[in-house]
Amino acid sequence: MKIHPLVKEVLYTREEIAAKCKELAVAVNQYYHANSQDNKDNTVICLGLLKGCIPFMAMLLLDLEIEVETEYMTVSSYAGGVAGNLNPEIMFDLVADVEDRDVLLVEDIIDSGKTIKLVKDYLLDKGARSVKVVTLLDKKSGRKVDLAADWYGFDVPAAFLIGFGLDYEERLRNLPYVAIADVEKIKAWTWEK
């Protein structure tokens, strides 16, 4: 496996993530099979938060055996850097009407919880019947609001992570693993190299 020079430590390899996605999909399938309602539209809206959700959502989707529609939203958050900004905002809204629908929010990582809380409240406000949250990574120590994922892949340390959807200044989302970034090196890094 080729390791990017800005990596300090690889936490989860592509194979470990793939296995975890299967486990998560099994749990999600079971939940919706057990909780579907016959007299309504049971198709779940699988709502990914751009841009970080892409690799995780792509893997998870292929093991979902429930009927889904896919939707996306963009919520501003880190503004690119290592430190989180204060309050997230919706930059790009989803297309589907969520009234009376079951929504599964798909996120790369939950840190403070503000992003997911904002989206969850927004969807419930619009009349969603249920909103569940699945995240690949859960940085529980970063939590600033009362919010828990319904399903998470890995409990991660309070470090700046990159790869598998997670970026530093919009780059490194394509690394096929999740890693702790070398924060000292990253600040002085020139991408032209």
- Does the footprint of Mg ion cover residue 88 (CB under 5 A)? no
For the chain, the maximum distance between any two Cα atoms, rounded to a whole number of angstroms, is 58
Which CB, 32 or 160, lies closer to ligand IMP? 160
Which does residue 78 bind out of Mg ion, ligand IMP, none, counting CB within 5 to 8 angstroms by kind? ligand IMP
Select from 20, 101, 114, 120 the one that contacts ligand IMP (CB under 6 A).
Answer: 114
Which CB, 108 or 138, lies closer to Mg ion? 108
Which CB, 66 or 116, lies closer to ligand IMP? 116
Select from 4, 10, 84, 90 the one that contacts ligand IMP (CB under 6 A).
Answer: 84
CA 66 to chain centre: 19
Q: What is the CA radius of gyration of the chain?
A: 17
Number of H helices, E strands in the chain: 4, 9
Select from 6, 20, 46, 52 the one that contacts ligand IMP (CB under 6 A).
Answer: 52
- Does the footprint of ligand IMP cover residue 160 (CB under 6 A)? yes
To the nearest 10 degrees (0 to 180), the angle between helices 14-35 and 54-61 is: 60
Alpha helices in 36-174 (DSSP H): 54-61, 114-125
Stretch binding ligand IMP (CB under 6 A), from 14-22, 35-43, 90-98, 105-113? 105-113
- Does the footprint of ligand IMP cover residue 149 (CB under 6 A)? no
Q: Where are the beta strands (DSSP E) in 35-189?
A: 44-50, 68-76, 89-92, 102-110, 130-138, 151-155, 161-162, 178-181
Active site residues: 111
**CA-to-CA distance for 193 and 31, rounded, in angstroms?**
47
Select from 48, 52, 55, 88 the one that contacts Mg ion (CB under 5 A).
Answer: 52
Q: What residue ranges bind ligand IMP (CB under 6 A)?
A: 49, 52, 77-78, 84, 88, 107-115, 139, 160-161, 166
